Amino acid sequence: MSVSEATLWQMRHLIYQVFATTGRAPDLPRLARTLDLAEDDALEALRALGEMHSVFLTGDGRGVLMANPFSAVPTPFRVSANGVDWWANCAWDMLGIPAALGSDATIRATYAADATATELRVIDGRVEGDPGIIHFQQPFRHWYDDLRHT
């Protein structure tokens, strides 16, 4: 691989920083430009991160689909904080976003059981709002078999 391990971790950090500040995943040209890489090298690094499960890639392998807890595509789990909106990958990740940000947040989600909407708030490190149950379907030993389903 022509890209150094240090560059891989720089790319990972950049992906997370862009997600955290914009609510969106950076595209490949932005990754290449910011890290001063040729686009082919940026693609190689991105795919290496995908193979390591540091991030999860789109079907064509050229974009970021997920960098847990952040989703690049719409989901039933919406988190808002500091004027930014994010999609979370799942119910755990909808709590993971404010945990990662260290921020108060408003969470809007849809219960899978009956498709009703719920709203939670994270205030000063506590979760408040409609009590509910979070369901983990896949046991820990399978979490990385197919994280898109998990």
Partner 1 sequence: MNIWSVTNHQTIGATMTIGKCWGLATAWYHDRLSPDFHRRTVEQALAIFAELSLTGPFWSPDTGTPTP
Minimum CB separation of residue 91 from partner 1 in Å reads 7
CA 71, 74, 75, 79 torsion-angle sign: positive
Q: Does 34 bind partner 1 (CB under 8 A)?
A: no
123 closest CA partner among 107, 109, 103: 103
Name residues contacting partner 1, limited to 63-82 (CB under 8 A): 68-69
89 closest CA partner among 30, 147, 24: 147
Q: Which of 4, 38, 134, 146 binds partner 1 (CB under 8 A)?
A: 134
Whole-number Å distance between alpha carbons of 12 and 10:
5
Q: Does 89 bind partner 1 (CB under 8 A)?
A: no
Positions that interact with partner 1 (CB under 8 A): 9-10, 12-13, 16-17, 20, 52-54, 68-69, 91-93, 95-97, 99-102, 112-113, 120, 122, 125-127, 131-141, 143-144
